[in-house]
Structure 1
C-alpha cells in the first residue's frame, strides 16, 4: 500500500518524508485555509513547495464546480509541476472534466466518492485515482471499509488501471482495514501512519534489552 499524507502543513509533510515511507500528498481548499494559505498565487506556490519536498504525487483540488472552470483550473494546476494530480469532485461536470483531462494526459483524482457506482463512472472516464471517503461514511452509519472492498473487487474484475485511494482515514485501524480491503493507497494524518509503530510488546522488549545491557555494563 502507498501512504499519502492528507495535509497542507509543510512541517508535517517533511516529517513524513523523513520517515522514509511517504508516497505522496493530498490537499484540499479546507486544508489550505487551515494553514492560512490565501490567494490563488500563494496557493499555487504552496503546491510547488509541497512538490519540492516529496517524491510522489501531489493532489491539488480545483475550486470550480462547472465543467469549463474545472478544465481551466485543472490545466493550470497540472502545469505547475509534473507531480501534480488534479483533484475533481465526483459530479456530472467532474466526470466530464476527468475524461477531458485524461485525454490530455493530465492525471486526476476523482474525490468525494461514496458509492461503487460513482467509482465506476470515474474509472471509465480515466481517473488515475478514486477517493472513497471511509470516515465520512462511518459517520452516517455506513461501513466505509466495505465500500473500499467493493470498489477494489470491481476494479480487479474489470482490469481498471484506476487506483483506489482510501480517504477520510481517521485512525490507524482504518489503515489496516483498508489494506485488507485491497486499497492501493491510504491518505491520512501523520498520526495515523506513525500509530502503526506502536505496540506495547515493542516498548516492553526495548526496555528489557536496555535493562540487560545496563546490568552487563555497570
Structure 2
C-alpha cells in the first residue's frame, strides 16, 4: 500500500518523507487556504515546493468545472513538474477531461467519488487514481469501507489499472481496514500515519529494556 499525506504543510510533508514511508501528497484548495497560500502564482509555486520534497505523486486540484477550463488548468498544473497528478472532480466534464488527459499521458486523480458507479466511470475514462471519500460517507451513516471493498472488487474483475486511493481517512483503523480490503493507496493526515507507531506493549517493553540496561551498567 502507498501512503500519501493529505496536507499542504511543507513541514509535515518533510517529516513524513523523512520517516521513510511517504509515497505522495494530496492537496486541495481548502488545504492551500489553511496554509495561507493565495493567488494562482503562489499556489503553483507551493506545488513546486512540494514536488521538490517528495519523489512522486503530487495531486494538484483544478478549480474549473467546465471541460475547457479543466483542460486548460490541468495542463498548466502538469507543466509545474513531472510529479504532478491532475486532480479532477467526478462530474461529467471532469470524466471527459480525464479521458483527454489520459490520451496525452497526463496522470489524473478523480476526486469526490462516493459510489462504485462513479468509480467505474473514472476507470473507464482512464483515471490514474480514484479517490473515494470514506470518512465523509461515515459522517452521513453510510459505510465508506464497504465502498472501498466494492470498488476494489470491480477493478479486479475487469483488470482496470486505475488505483484505489482511499481518501477522507480519519484514524488508524480506517487505514488498516483499507489495507486489509486491498486499497492501493491511502491519503490521510500525518497523525494517522504516525499513530501506527504506537502500542502500549512497545512502550512497556522498551522501558523494561532500558531499566535492565541501567541495572547492569551502573
- Normalised-by-shorter TM-score class: over 0.9
TM-score normalised over the length of structure 2? 0.99
Q: Contact 1:132–1:147 at 8 Å: present in 2 too? A: yes
The 5 A counterparts of 1:128-139 are 128-139=128-139
The CA distance in 2 between the partners of 1:152 and 1:216, in whole Å, is: 53
Name the residue aligned to 1:202. 202
Deviations, residues 17-37 of structure 1 (Å, cap 9, x unaligned): 000000000000000000000
Name the residue aligned to 1:30. 30
Name the residue aligned to 1:105. 105
Q: Contact 1:146–1:181 at 8 Å: present in 2 too? A: no
State the shift of 1:130 in Å.
Answer: 0.1
Secondary structure class of the residue paired with 1:52: helix
State the shift of 1:180 in Å.
Answer: 1.0
The CA distance in 2 between the partners of 1:15 and 1:156, in whole Å, is: 34
The 5 A counterparts of 1:1-218 are 1-218=1-218
State the shift of 1:181 in Å.
Answer: 1.2
Q: Contact 1:129–1:165 at 8 Å: present in 2 too? A: yes
Secondary structure class of the residue paired with 2:53: coil
Q: Which runs of 5+ in 1 are unaligned?
A: none
The CA distance in 2 between the partners of 1:56 and 1:140, in whole Å, is: 33
Q: Which runs of 5+ in 2 are unaligned?
A: none
The CA distance in 2 between the partners of 1:156 and 1:56, in whole Å, is: 25
Deviations, residues 168-193 of structure 1 (Å, cap 9, x unaligned): 00011110010011100000000000
Secondary structure class of the residue paired with 1:22: coil
Note the aligned Cα RMSD (angstroms): 0.4
The CA distance in 2 between the partners of 1:149 and 1:198, in whole Å, is: 27
The CA distance in 1 between the partners of 2:67 and 2:21, in whole Å, is: 36
State the shift of 1:43 in Å.
Answer: 0.3
TM-score normalised over the length of structure 1? 0.99
The CA distance in 1 between the partners of 2:150 and 2:166, in whole Å, is: 12
The CA distance in 2 between the partners of 1:56 and 1:66, in whole Å, is: 28
